[in-house]
């Protein structure tokens, strides 16, 4: 019936159903997608009247009348009859075309129930269309009008661009929908498409076309600015034709799906409190500079707020968080566009200056010191801070990421020892900054010998029953002369020296003692959650030895829960995943702690044996600073529940935190509003004195 076999072959590659019918409704052509959609052999449809496969036969005459009058029909939902009798819901559009001098109707049909699968097939079809672009160019010479009718019915932009000057020589009608400009304007002014590229993406697009080798195909994503000023994201598959000296492109508007994924992508690479890049983004940034900066020196600054912990301890995390947000704003206003600023953790920030000019480094460092001269006005009160800054230079001081940060840390501690509120350049003779580390190492060994390490236990409350369902074991180090030494201080040092293994054994031993005591006095089921360091997982026998230890003490594995942080998990995903599966197989539940704070594990969640996602307090404490934090918490909870995991929220310190989390079906709650961490003796006394149902009380402090 049709003689242009190559053209029909192209239509068979499209994921949407395509049929061509005459005025009576007789199907003259049906592509394979339409045949598969209705469960027919392709040959069975040709010659069949469309009325036999329509659920509502009246719709055909109405549609033909509209098309004859207006030349096309609006997209409309239409029900077709599958070969086996069930209804196939679709959306269709109809256009009138002329083939061999006859009026025909070109029908584009999309299966709504299989849209996601069709989208994936469309991507594959695009590549096939691209490979046959040279055949299409030949057909254009003698079948230009018919091809225009067909290509005009496709939603993606198909275009040709000259290799030498990047001027547009051909484009289909779909460009009007994406750019908001008629295609005739683009053909009249062949450079118009370049003028609508977003200014920040023009260099990217120019380099892409200049460097795409002949005969190769690649994908590029960039932004355009429509006629009405709206920004759109485009995805273009470009083929550099080796003989025709043109670029052949197929372009789709991906603004909607990209917008939906931006929040998740933002979580992966940014600190949720300050919105600065996080450690993951910092790592990428440093690796990129190290790979391409052999002849381009740069400077790294590590900034630490002096005595910031005192503000958190005395004024609470809300005030501390507001100060960190303001610090971030001031830092960003100090550096240039090509510089980089990230929140390294806690009250530490890292700044990368794009060159190592000593005058500019001094100027920026002085400006940073100066920005702390102005008080931080929070809730009507003025807070005065200062910062200590350590500076390393690449490549003079270090040639890799780890040493650059380590040496900057050494220089920063040297600045603190010199009186704080200053900046210091790293040099190899700096040994004074190591004193604190060596001192803590000595205290750790004293603590192990004298059994000074002690576990506190913070109850985990079931949000539905208000019963205590478990406890998190929190390690404390009360030294007789030094006072309480923060885990944030001694844990990293213990990990570096290897003492973390002895400390971890002490934690497990005390946790098991607590479990045994509690089992004798408490009939309800419970668990004790202990935190596991990355260094422990690096030992291949860790999981096996842990299970053996529980067996030796006759403690069922259901009484122990392991908490592992995202950063720990991502250090060696394959080794740690294997150990987690071994623990899970032994009956130990797994909780992913501090979720969303450093490394994003979204792509691994479905593969890991995780029972619980634990939302970090950095999301909970600022819940009511803006809508975004509440959206993030809700999104994480929904994700966890879809994956069959429970959700725990830590940092519940206010009644409105509690109410919001209860309302949004967070399974387990933990925080000062419910109960502060208690000693073993205090927990046992509490169980004797109080009813099993938990009554929230106002917080009198903030968790550390």
pLDDT tens for each residue of 307-332: 787 677 667 888 889 999 999 999 99
pLDDT of residue 3: 47
- State both tokens at 44: 């069975």
As assigned by CATH, the class of the 437-689 domain is: alpha beta
Q: How confident is the model at residue 669 (pLDDT cuts 50, 70, 90)?
A: very high
431-470 confidence digits (pLDDT tens): 554 667 778 889 999 999 999 999 999 999 999 988 899 9
Residue 703 pLDDT > 50 = no
Which of 371-385, 558-572, 657-671 is predicted most confidently? 657-671
pLDDT of residue 532: 92
245-258 confidence digits (pLDDT tens): 899 998 888 887 77
Collapsing DSSP states into helix, strand and coil, what is residue 342?
strand
pLDDT of residue 699: 42
Which of 696, 608, 600 lies closest to 616, judged by CA? 600
Residue 511 pLDDT > 90 = yes
Determine the average pLDDT of the residues in 558-583.
Answer: 83
0.85 exceeded by pTM: no
Q: What string of H, E and C letters represents the secondary structure of 99-159?
A: ECCEEEEEEEEEEHHHHHHHHHHHHHHHHHHHHCHHHHHHHHHHCHHHHHHHHCCCCCEEE
pLDDT of residue 509: 95
Determine the average pLDDT of the residues in 604-614.
Answer: 84
Determine the average pLDDT of the residues in 372-389.
Answer: 87
| Domain 155-253 part of CATH 3.40.50.1100 | no
CA angle 684, 686, 687 (to 5 degrees): 65
Q: Which CATH number applies to 5-113: 3.40.50.300, 3.30.200.20, 3.40.50.2020, 3.30.450.20?
A: 3.30.450.20
Q: How confident is the model at residue 627 (pLDDT cuts 50, 70, 90)?
A: confident
pLDDT of residue 69: 81
Q: Which of 29-43, 121-135, 137-151 is predicted least confidently?
A: 137-151
Determine the average pLDDT of the residues in 139-156.
Answer: 63
φ/ψ region of 383 (left if φ > 0, alpha if ψ in -120 to 50, else beta) reads: beta
The domain locations on the chain are 5-113, 155-253, 268-431, 437-689
pLDDT of residue 560: 96
Q: How confident is the model at residue 141 (pLDDT cuts 50, 70, 90)?
A: low
Determine the average pLDDT of the residues in 261-289.
Answer: 85
Check for a shared fold between 155-253 and 268-431: no
Mean pLDDT, the chain, whole residue set:
85
Residue 4 pLDDT > 60 = no
**CATH T-level fold of 268-431:** Alpha-Beta Plaits (3.30.70)
Q: How confident is the model at residue 700 (pLDDT cuts 50, 70, 90)?
A: very low
- State both tokens at 107: 């029908």
Residue 704 pLDDT > 60 = no
Q: How confident is the model at residue 570 (pLDDT cuts 50, 70, 90)?
A: low
């Amino acid at each position: 019936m049709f003689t242009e076999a190559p053209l029909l072959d192209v239509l068979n590659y499209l994921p949407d159903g395509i049929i061509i019918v005459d005025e009576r409704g007789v199907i003259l052509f049906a592509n394979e997608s339409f045949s598969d959609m209705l469960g027919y052999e392709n040959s069975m449809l040709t010659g069949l009247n469309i009325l036999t496969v329509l659920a509502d036969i009246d719709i055909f005459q109405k549609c033909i009348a509209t098309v004859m009058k207006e030349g096309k029909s609006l997209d409309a939902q239409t029900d077709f009859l599958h070969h086996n009798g069930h209804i196939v819901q679709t959306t269709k559009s109809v256009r009138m075309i002329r083939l061999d001098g006859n009026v025909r109707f070109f029908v584009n049909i999309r299966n709504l129930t299989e849209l996601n699968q069709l989208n994936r097939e469309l991507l594959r079809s695009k590549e096939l269309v691209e490979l046959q672009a040279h055949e299409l160019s030949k057909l254009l010479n003698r079948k230009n009008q018919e091809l225009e009718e067909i290509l005009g019915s496709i939603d993606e932009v198909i275009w040709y661009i000259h290799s030498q000057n990047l001027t547009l020589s051909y484009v289909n009608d779909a460009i009007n929908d994406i750019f908001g400009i008629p295609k005739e304007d683009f053909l009249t002014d062949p450079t118009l498409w370049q003028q609508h590229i977003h200014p920040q993406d023009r260099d990217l697009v120019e380099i892409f076309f200049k460097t795409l080798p002949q005969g190769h195909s690649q994908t590029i994503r960039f932004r355009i600015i429509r006629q009405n000023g709206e920004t759109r994201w485009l995805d273009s598959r470009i083929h550099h034709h080796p003989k025709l000296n043109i670029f052949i492109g197929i372009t789709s508007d991906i603004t909607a799906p990209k917008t939906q994924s931006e929040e998740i992508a933002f979580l992966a690479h940014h600190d949720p409190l300050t919105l600065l890049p996080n450690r993951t983004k910092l790592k990428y940034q440093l690796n990129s500079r190290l790979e391409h900066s052999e002849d381009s020196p740069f400077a790294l600054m590590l900034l630490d707020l002096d005595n910031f912990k005192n503000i958190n301890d005395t004024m609470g995390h809300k005030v501390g968080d507001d100060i960190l947000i303001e610090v971030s704003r001031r830092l960003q206003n100090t550096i240039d566009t090509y510089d980089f600023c990230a929140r390294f953790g806690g009250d530490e920030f890292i700044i990368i200056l794009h060159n190592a000019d000593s005058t500019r480094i001094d100027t920026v460092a002085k400006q940073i010191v100066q920005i702390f001269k102005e008080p931080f006005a929070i809730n009507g009160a003025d807070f005065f801070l200062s910062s200590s800054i350590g500076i390393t230079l690449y490549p003079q001081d270090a040639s890799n990421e780890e040493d650059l940060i380590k040496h900057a840390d050494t220089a920063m501690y040297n600045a603190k020892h010199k009186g704080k509120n200053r900046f210091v350049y790293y040099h190899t003779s700096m040994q004074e900054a190591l004193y604190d580390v060596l001192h803590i190492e000595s205290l750790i060994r004293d603590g192990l010998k004298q059994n000074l390490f002690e576990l506190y236990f913070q109850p985990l409350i079931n949000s539905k029953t208000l019963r205590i369902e478990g406890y998190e074991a929190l390690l404390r180090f009360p030294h007789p002369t030094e006072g309480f030494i923060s885990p944030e201080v001694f844990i990293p040092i213990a990990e570096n020296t290897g003492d973390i293994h002895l400390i971890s054994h002490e934690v497990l031993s005390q946790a098991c003692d607590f479990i045994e005591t509690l089992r004798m006095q408490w009939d309800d089921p419970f668990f004790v959650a202990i935190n596991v360091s990355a260094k422990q997982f690096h030992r291949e026998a860790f999981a096996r030895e842990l299970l053996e230890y529980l067996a030796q003490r006759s403690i069922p594995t259901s009484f122990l829960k392991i908490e592992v942080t995202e950063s720990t998990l991502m250090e060696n995903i394959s080794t740690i995943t294997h150990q987690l599966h071994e623990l899970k197989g032994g009956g130990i539940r797994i909780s992913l702690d501090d979720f969303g704070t450093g490394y994003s594990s979204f792509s691994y969640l479905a593969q890991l044996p995780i029972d619980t996602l634990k939302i970090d307090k950095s999301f909970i404490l600022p819940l009511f600073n803006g809508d975004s934090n509440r959206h993030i918490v809700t999104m994480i909870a929904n994700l966890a529940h879809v994956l069959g995991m429970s959700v725990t929220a830590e940092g519940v310190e206010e009644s409105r935190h509690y109410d919001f989390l209860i309302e949004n079906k967070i399974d387990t709650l933990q925080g000062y509003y419910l109960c502060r961490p208690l000693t073993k003796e205090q927990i046992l006394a509490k169980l004797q004195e109080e009813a099993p149902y938990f009554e929230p009380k106002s917080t009198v402090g903030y968790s550390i």
